[in-house]
């Protein structure tokens, strides 16, 4: 495996951990992970990159080795603000190139629309796939949210890293045992009683008390000036969830005037970077090099 170093920076009062591969002079790529994940998941993709790159992958607040917010709810808008601070730390002067998965891709899409010109290229791996929430869902969400913050959330315990890995492989049969065990050892942390829990603030599991509005996302997508390439797993259930609904898949993609293309990766579900990292790495390098990056 390609070696990485840990870099810690202060981001809006949160002690952020960033995993960094490559040398200082190499072209920079920012890799953003998704929900219930962390930066170590990008190892397989980084290993498959053929060229020389400086890959910078933060653990979002409340995930991996980054600090927790201390709040009972995590907001996507905070991640957008964190992203701005992270980019300013590592690349303050030039537009950046981003590879982002799932929740990370949603945050990057909002950011690229809010600050047009700050992002040069965005390779989005299934990064805006939450279904639109109708207004009449709000009372139920508020009630559920209050129940969750009153009772608190917990991460599921496992007897060992091996059991955690087995659970991952059961949920995703495309994941090899070797990769599942690697992920378990980076996603998990040992507890005082010798068990293992996910290395993430349980508050991330709480239902947010706000509605996801596709029209708000689409408004940001329309403002993106960055060149965008979309990647999805051919076996992903997330794409199917928003097919054919108002503000769904086609409307979101068509809102991106600078969309360069779409690639469906065979043999991959939602976690393309776990299932087919070699294919994802090839797509990243083809997209970035086609636009003049060495």
40 pLDDT higher than 80: yes
What's the pLDDT band for 140 if we cut at 50, 70, 90?
A: very high
78 pLDDT higher than 90: yes
Q: Is 266 exposed, middle or buried (0-12, 13-18, 19+ CB in 10 A)?
A: exposed
The pTM score is: 0.95
Averaged confidence pLDDT in the chain: 94
Strand order of the β-sheet with 96-101 is: 4-11, 14-21, 54-58, 28-32, 96-101, 119-125, 227-233, 259-265
What's the pLDDT band for 290 if we cut at 50, 70, 90?
A: low
In the prediction, which pLDDT does 294 show? Answer: 46
What's the pLDDT band for 240 if we cut at 50, 70, 90?
A: confident
157 pLDDT higher than 60: yes
Residues 102-137: tens digit of each pLDDT: 999 999 999 999 999 999 999 999 998 888 889 999
> How far is residue 262's CA from residue 173's CA, in Å, rounded to a whole number?
25
Percent of the chain with pLDDT over 70: 98
Supply φ then ψ for residue 114, to 5 degrees: -75, -30
- For the domain 4-134+212-290, what is the CATH superfamily, name and number? Alpha/Beta hydrolase fold, catalytic domain (3.40.50.1820)
Q: What is the mean pLDDT of residues 180-184?
A: 97
CB 45 within 8 A of CB 281: yes
Residues 225-235: tens digit of each pLDDT: 999 999 999 99
42 pLDDT higher than 70: yes
Outline where DSSP puts E strands in the chain: 4-11, 14-21, 28-32, 54-58, 96-101, 119-125, 188-190, 196-198, 227-233, 259-265
């Amino acid at each position: 495996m390609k070696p990485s170093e840990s870099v810690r920076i202060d981001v809006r009062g949160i002690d952020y951990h960033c995993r960094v591969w490559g040398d200082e002079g190499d072209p920079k790529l920012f890799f953003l992970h998704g929900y219930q994940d962390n930066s170590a998941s990008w190892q397989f993709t980084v290993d498959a990159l053929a060229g020389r790159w400086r890959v910078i992958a933060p653990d979002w607040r409340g995930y991996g080795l980054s600090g927790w917010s201390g709040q009972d709810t995590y907001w996507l808008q905070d991640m957008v603000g964190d992203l701005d601070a992270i980019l300013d730390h590592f690349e303050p002067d030039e537009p950046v190139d981003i590879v982002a998965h799932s929740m990370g891709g949603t945050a990057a899409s909002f950011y690229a629309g809010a600050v047009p010109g700050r992002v040069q290229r965005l390779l989005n791996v299934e990064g805006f796939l939450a279904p639109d929430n109708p207004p009449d869902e709000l009372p139920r969400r508020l009630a559920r949210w209050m129940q969750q913050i009153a009772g608190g959330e917990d991460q599921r315990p496992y007897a060992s890293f091996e059991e955690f890995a087995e659970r991952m492989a059961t949920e995703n049969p495309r994941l090899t045992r070797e990769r599942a065990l690697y992920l378990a050892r980076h996603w998990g942390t040992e507890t005082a009683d010798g068990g293992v829990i996910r290395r993430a603030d349980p508050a991330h599991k709480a239902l947010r008390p706000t509605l996801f509005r596709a029209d708000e996302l689409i408004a940001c997508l329309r403002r993106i000036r960055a060149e965008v390439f979309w990647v999805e797993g051919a076996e992903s259930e997330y794409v199917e969830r928003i097919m054919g609904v108002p503000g769904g898949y086609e409307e979101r993609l068509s809102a991106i005037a600078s969309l360069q293309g779409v690639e469906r990766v065979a043999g991959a579900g939602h976690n393309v970077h776990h299932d087919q990292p070699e294919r994802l790495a090839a797509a990243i390098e083809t997209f970035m090099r086609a636009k003049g990056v060495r």
